Structure 1
Amino acid sequence: MNFFIKTYGCQMNVNDSEKMQHILENKGLTITRDEGSADIVIINSCAVREKPQDKIFSYAGRLPKDKIIIVAGCVAQAEKEKILERNPNINYIVGTHQYYQIDGIVDEILETRNRKTGIKVQFIRQWQEAIPGIDARTSHVSGYISIMEGCNNFCSYCIVPFARGREKHRPFEKIMEEAAYLAEKGYKEIILLGQNVNNWEDKERNMKFTDLLDVMAQRIDVKWIRFITSYPGYYDNELIAVMAKHRKIARNIHFPAQSGSTRILKKMNRIYTRGQYLDIIRRFKKRIPDITFSSDFIVGYPGETGNDFKLTLSLVKKVEYENIFSFIYSPRKHTRAFKMEDKLSLEVKKQRLYELQELQRKIQLKNNKALAGSTVEVLITGKNPKKPGDVIGRTVSYRVVNFKSGTGAGEFTRVLIEHVGPYSLRGREVPGRLSGNSN
């Protein structure tokens, strides 16, 4: 029996899909990349914004009625009744804490054969360590490791606490076991995952996130260690010191600001001010001059004035992010912001989004032009599907580089940058040891 997994959303969802694939393959089912040939289609859903949520309903509605359809993930957890109302052909709703039961759920569907709909969406407060070793990875270069799930912050706009539950933290030894397993398999990069990844702790061992990073950098034989997504309110000088100590910890941080206005940050229930956010960046750059940042921004938040938006633009100018992910505010049911009065027109919101993205495009082009003529270290991630003979790679600061190479994915090489654009670089592979700029 064949199964197909359609994944929407963040890296946490990608990792959950890897876990479900691993479980079902161990059960004897076969993964297929062609949904048309699949007997079972699993939709791993995202509820962060309205648009990706609507895509899920649209996709499920297009699937043939003879397929077994399972909806998993955040939309399944938060909108279970709505899913069944809109598409009665769906066989099962699987919440964010039940993915490890996917084998039993498939058994239940196949045994009954009466196409009766089932729902499993209960929150589980303790960490569930159900997967001993995951071979079903979407990438053979970068290995994801979930170290925590859920969120206790309840930002006013965010559905995550309602879709993923409260924070739960994976034990230190289990994290290290998976990291060692990935290193042994030849992975060059490990990416630690969590909604508030830098708030991880192991209370039994009296360990914090800084301790985990310090130990992992010393013991695990990989080139780069990254972590996403971090929360600005949980940074301290200890974490900065650990990152400065280990070159292995990539000098690039995803550092979501959401807004440049302290007034809007307060309405969002973010526990930091604009000044505190900038102070953390200042302290990082003092200890690690070559560090770079990416960020998330929401425009058109309820109550956002023209001045609030100007403060966001000025923050982006001041920090000069490597890249940003920016969106128009999307109301989410269950959140506090859902009930806030929203007077801004869609036209104004779209204009603000355009201005923000255009500013960032200019910043990225300027930053990339500074690399022209320099040689950078690049991790090859795979072939370029649009240009035969080309490969795609990433620098330590997550810049995308296109070039020709006979070297395969997962290898590091040197590339002389010859052409630049706002979103990618192009160059040629050069021999020898890396020297000079490695951004």
Structure 2
Amino acid sequence: MQTPFMNLTFCIRTFGCQMNKHDSERIAGMLEGLGALAVESVEEADIVAFMTCCVREAADTRLYGQVASLKNIPLRSGTPLSKRIVAVGGCIGQRDGERLVEKLPHLDVVFGTHNLASLPRLLQSAVEKGGHHVEVLDAASSFASELPASREHEWAAWLPITIGCNNFCTYCIVPYVRGREKSRPLEDIVEEAERYVAAGVKEITLLGQNVNSYGRDLYGSPRFAAVLDALDATGVERLRFATSHPRDLTDEVIGKFATLRSLMPALHLPVQSGSDTVLAAMNRRYTRDHYRALVAKLRDAVGDIALSTDVIVGFPGETAKDFEDTYRLVDEVGYHQVFTFIYSKREGTPAASMNDPTPRETIQARFDRLVDIVQKRAFEANQRDLNTVVDVLVEGASKRDTGLLSGRSPKNQTVHAPLPPGVSAEDLAGSIVRVRVDEAKTWYLAGRLLDPPTRP
């Protein structure tokens, strides 16, 4: 079937969370289904789509810079278009709408988080009619999972179980751009997972702004533990999920780490701060001691579970004591990975109106000190896997050395190992291999393959 997208090329640039990565795969699936060809670089692309994040100010700056730079990049040779079509979606598209076109006049299409399915129609209008085409809906009528997808890896899949968020942390813009929490029926989730397993997917990652509250809107109370049980029963080899709000992490869900075959021993549990005063100001609705008790329960369930977290430094009003509480908590828990951020004011959130007299250099010094302890504890955490054997899901060649394979351990650690003679990373991608760990660094493990495979 001939479509306006035949012989056109497209490139997607994705910022932010896993949900944006999932949405980008849906966009790629729609455009490829209409005859467009995915390319790696914007220089080769007739259509460039940006899937954006607005959680931090740096994301806005990065988007504006990259969109503006497209004006100076010539079209590829042989393109049927007279100008490159540029689209912006995701959270910045949802938040700013028409204002984006005012700031970036050469922008052609703006769409929001709730109407991915509209993008082909909007792009077609831009191709055939020119001008600006903006469509931002207030709420989603369906899940993006109903759209076709072109996954980055055939052996891994994102699987959203909720969209939106009801928590309204005072620093966070997400509830305003993703909407209120909405859960998918369990049978739909299981059906999609079964399709993935039948297609050879080895790892499924469940997605939601707060997966732990899954089902509250449908069933009156959270049923995330039931989702984990049902997905384990599909036979998938590896199961992960993100993101968990500590307030809603139940003993039942924690217990699943000890009992479910497929549930990997790794959990991202954002703490944001170790100070009760700051946590209250953030509207996180748990305390430092509650969080510490969750960590203890998780380690009772799986002794060496790999924990990761998010921490914000410099939230308005954070005192030296508040920061010390955070520092001591990070030191105590000993995370495998910590995503550290300096507070970024987001207009439209309650925290944006909070005054903070703390000098920037003080906040930066706290941040640098926190990074030091994060790296020290991450190194120590990885030392526990030295001289052990880990099962590694191969993702491909290492970016730093194409002679090494790169993959993920059950604890989500990056693992490198030399490729056997005559075997390429592409040959092994999507397979699970055993690696004897000979080296444990802060951010990766390295070793050698046991029972090295030969070329298929």
Q: Secondary structure at the match of 2:146?
A: coil
- Which consecutive residues of structure 1, in runs of 5 or more, have no partner in the other structure? 433-439
Q: Does 1:337 align with 2:351?
A: yes
- Summarize the Cα distance change of 1:177–1:250 in structure 2 as closer, same or farther, 3 Å threshold: same
**In structure 2, C-alpha distance between the alignment counterparts of 1:102 and 1:125, rounded to whole Å:** 14
**In structure 1, C-alpha distance between the alignment counterparts of 2:300 and 2:402, rounded to whole Å:** 43
Contact 1:24 1:102 in 2 (8 A): no
Which of 92, 102, 107 is the matching residue for 2:109? Answer: 92
The alpha-carbon deviation at position 203 of structure 1 amounts to 5.8
- Summarize the Cα distance change of 1:202–1:184 in structure 2 as closer, same or farther, 3 Å threshold: farther
Which of 153, 163, 167 is the matching residue for 1:153? Answer: 167
Q: What does residue 370 of structure 1 align with?
A: 384
What's the % identity of the aligned pairs? 34
Contact 1:170 1:202 in 2 (8 A): no
CA displacement, residues 65-106 of structure 1 (integer Å, 9 cap, x when unaligned) = 721111101011112244223210001110000111111112
Q: Secondary structure at the match of 1:64?
A: helix
Q: What does residue 57 of structure 1 align with?
A: 64
**In structure 1, C-alpha distance between the alignment counterparts of 2:66 and 2:235, rounded to whole Å:** 41
The alpha-carbon deviation at position 420 of structure 1 amounts to 2.1
Q: Secondary structure at the match of 1:60?
A: helix
Q: What does residue 166 of structure 1 align with?
A: 180
Q: What does residue 37 of structure 1 align with?
A: 44
Contact 2:439 2:447 in 1 (8 A): yes
Contact 2:98 2:134 in 1 (8 A): no
Which of 212, 234, 243 is the matching residue for 2:227? Answer: 212
Which of 397, 407, 417 is the matching residue for 1:383? Answer: 397
Q: What does residue 317 of structure 2 align with?
A: 303
Whichever residue aligns with residue 443 of structure 2, its letter is: Y
The alpha-carbon deviation at position 279 of structure 1 amounts to 1.1
**In structure 1, C-alpha distance between the alignment counterparts of 2:217 and 2:319, rounded to whole Å:** 43
Whichever residue aligns with residue 151 of structure 2, its letter is: R
Q: Secondary structure at the match of 1:63?
A: helix
CA displacement, residues 229-269 of structure 1 (integer Å, 9 cap, x when unaligned) = 11000011111223322031111110000000010000000
Which of 231, 240, 244 is the matching residue for 2:258? Answer: 244
CA displacement, residues 29-67 of structure 1 (integer Å, 9 cap, x when unaligned) = 221212112111111111010112110000000003721
Whichever residue aligns with residue 122 of structure 1, its letter is: L
- Which consecutive residues of structure 2, in runs of 5 or more, have no partner in the other structure? 1-7, 73-82
**In structure 1, C-alpha distance between the alignment counterparts of 2:370 and 2:115, rounded to whole Å:** 39
**In structure 2, C-alpha distance between the alignment counterparts of 1:261 and 1:95, rounded to whole Å:** 35
Which of 120, 124, 129 is the matching residue for 2:139? Answer: 124
Query: What value does the CA root-mean-square deviation take over the aligned residues?
Result: 1.7
**In structure 2, C-alpha distance between the alignment counterparts of 1:379 and 1:13, rounded to whole Å:** 23
**In structure 2, C-alpha distance between the alignment counterparts of 1:292 and 1:280, rounded to whole Å:** 13
Q: What does residue 80 of structure 2 align with?
A: none
Contact 1:133 1:178 in 2 (8 A): no
Q: Secondary structure at the match of 1:183?
A: helix
- Summarize the Cα distance change of 1:343–1:141 in structure 2 as closer, same or farther, 3 Å threshold: farther
Which of 422, 442, 445 is the matching residue for 1:422? Answer: 442
Whichever residue aligns with residue 127 of structure 2, its letter is: L
Match runs of 1:215-294 below 5 Å: 215-218=230-233, 220-294=234-308
Q: Secondary structure at the match of 1:174?
A: helix
CA displacement, residues 275-316 of structure 1 (integer Å, 9 cap, x when unaligned) = 111111112222222322100000011000011011111111
**In structure 1, C-alpha distance between the alignment counterparts of 2:147 and 2:48, rounded to whole Å:** 24
- Summarize the Cα distance change of 1:232–1:385 in structure 2 as closer, same or farther, 3 Å threshold: same
Q: What does residue 109 of structure 1 align with?
A: 126
Match runs of 1:188-207 below 5 Å: 188-201=202-215
Q: TM-score, normalised by structure 2?
A: 0.90
Q: TM-score, normalised by structure 1?
A: 0.94
